[in-house]
Structure 1
């Protein structure tokens, strides 16, 4: 076969094209000979004016041997078509700035952009300096966004129970403007300042106006961060909704008396990822006797922990109840408990078994599967979910397959389903 013909075939041009011969004659080097047509401006390629696409073809010489023609015949009859310069329709899974599920990025904390409107805001809380075991959740928001790259549209045939409206729901195209606010700046050197920064960031998000007229304030989804960040999210939510019912998915109760967990050195250490619900109750952010834990399985520290937990307004469904009760019983118990109050859902990723979510700070064996968690979440359809978070994702302890980050992203997707279904 002819060398020139082979080069032409590789380049995707016909040997009759003047551009091909001129590139050979000009001595532009091997790169130009092999890829000259690819490097040409779109303006110099043939365009389909109707579609705006550039098409490049090549034709095999008649004298080429049959084996070569068999290998290249497909490309002869199926020319390469390049998109035009508008890349918005191209595959976006790995492209662009990473936001959660590719939703638009908004400057939510910048006073100069106070006119921005949205209905649901995703925001990161990169904080992990109030943990009792393994740090690393400050990198959780970024890892959850990375885990969400395949999300951003489409219908789930398993969303909700059979007959649910959610099975016909695409949360990202349901009439709500969803944005990613990025991460709140939080100092790693002083927990008091960091938590105040988070509160101010959450407050700024809530103070924006919505696109939907029937929505008074935006709904906020927080990506943690250790579980302490939920306290500031509840504080900001309380200012607009009053006392809320909390549905708390976790392996730990997190209502510990600070004298039992964290208060033995300084009072500033009293607020941590195991005591934040104690303080939320004490400050009145939580409605009395309307909240519930789901998935509890970690041991209590002292015998009085269970009574103190009840005094903070919580009942519980423990992890092994999932082996005894069916999903409808679990969901009905949760719904009955919270009633028609505004609901805040907080998911500590360690509610899942360590085989499902190894990337977390305080792993406990015997937890839920991803399917069990997502089934219960989707079953909460109909509740007035005003805010939510997923926390304690610590990517340094995750698998190479990023399974913790991926399931955490799917949890946020379930939040969006609950917030957008009518």
Structure 2
């Protein structure tokens, strides 16, 4: 391409401006290694940061604090691992999911963490986000392990947040609470997490991304030879419904494409309070229709729990999972759908069923899991603290989400 002389002068001027003033007021990432900082230009200073491929892994290289051994550190969003996989029916290995997701998240803020479609930076916002490590979970006793997960999660969920602690919130206590994002673990962990949520918020609406229903009756899925065997990663929503943890008829599955024991499985799913968006519907109603279907089901004022099974993605994009099913969505499609949920009152979330041993050397699944949670984290940041005013006030979604919803309306979905 040929430049006119005026264009050359303009490019040179812009280059000089960038050298003099930096790029968009960005500052270099700093770190703990003051002795390793080498001044290369007059006026340089600061500390040398770890490279993204070095140092201890936390989610997105967030600060780590042992939240379960000390309550001295406050936060608005906390990541916590639940390394449990003895409720799985096919491939074990999700106990390594939390560490795998953290490994896959290392480069999330390599360039500063700014989420371009969401026009927000979840690593640099109004509050504080940290990684609290993992809940200690026994691998020898499922009953005790699920109690550990419930207690650990509730301990973190019910603390005072870093921001707006004195503001009235939407919890049962009337307080504003922090948000917790849990790294699984197989999907059984969602039952103790919902028990924890119920203590803080009461019955809750759930958006469930998965290829499977997970509302099966124990006698259908697993045979229920004992009380503990009846609780597994295919029945936990059945038990959540039986225990009154789910708000009536306000929950939805998205990405479903499993085989069934028969049509009655769908009847039981409805009994548990769910409706569905099948994975194949992306070919008919498209991404805008899926987003609208989800938003219409759960609304934007009630508290909502988000649970994401990585097997929502097609195995081509996420092979490392406990029960893979072909015919799923791409990573790009799922991330777009997640972004379309902006403005919903997410009080907590989990991402489960990542089993790194089945991944490729390129870490496809763990990177996809980390990127999906990056979108979830951004949505929570954009919504603001879970105060009563923010949660029940009018919320204007971003341009991209508004466009997708407008497309759905044109299709009369």
Question: TM-score, with normalisation over the residues of structure 2?
Answer: 0.78
Query: Map of 1:394-405 to 2, 5 A cutoff?
Result: 394-405=355-366
Higher relative contact order (CA 8 A, sep 6+): 2
Query: Map of 1:8-407 to 2, 5 A cutoff?
Result: 54=38, 86-87=47-48, 90-110=49-69, 113-152=70-109, 153-157=112-116, 159=117, 166=118, 168-213=119-164, 214=167, 216-339=176-299, 340-407=301-368
Q: Secondary structure at the match of 1:173?
A: coil
Give how far 1:54 is off.
Answer: 4.6
Distance in 1 between the 2:73 and 2:114 partners?
28
| 1:114–1:272 Cα change, 3 Å | same
Q: How many residues align?
A: 338
Distance in 2 between the 1:232 and 1:392 partners?
16
Alignment deviations for residues 325-353 of structure 1 (CA, whole Å, 9 cap, x no partner): 12222111101100121111111000110
Give how far 1:115 is off.
Answer: 3.0
Distance in 1 between the 2:381 and 2:124 partners?
9
Q: Tell me, which stretches of 5 or more residues in structure 2 are unaligned?
A: 1-33, 170-175, 384-413
Distance in 2 between the 1:378 and 1:53 partners?
39
Counterpart in the other structure of 1:31: none
Tell me if structure 2 keeps the 8 A contact 1:345–1:389.
yes
Counterpart in the other structure of 2:25: none
Question: TM-score, with normalisation over the residues of structure 1?
Answer: 0.77
Give how far 1:171 is off.
Answer: 0.9
Alignment deviations for residues 250-291 of structure 1 (CA, whole Å, 9 cap, x no partner): 000000011111243212100000000111111111101000
Q: Secondary structure at the match of 1:107?
A: coil
Which of 1 and 2 has greater Rg?
1
Distance in 1 between the 2:72 and 2:124 partners?
22
Distance in 2 between the 1:406 and 1:53 partners?
30
Tell me if structure 2 keeps the 8 A contact 1:116–1:208.
no
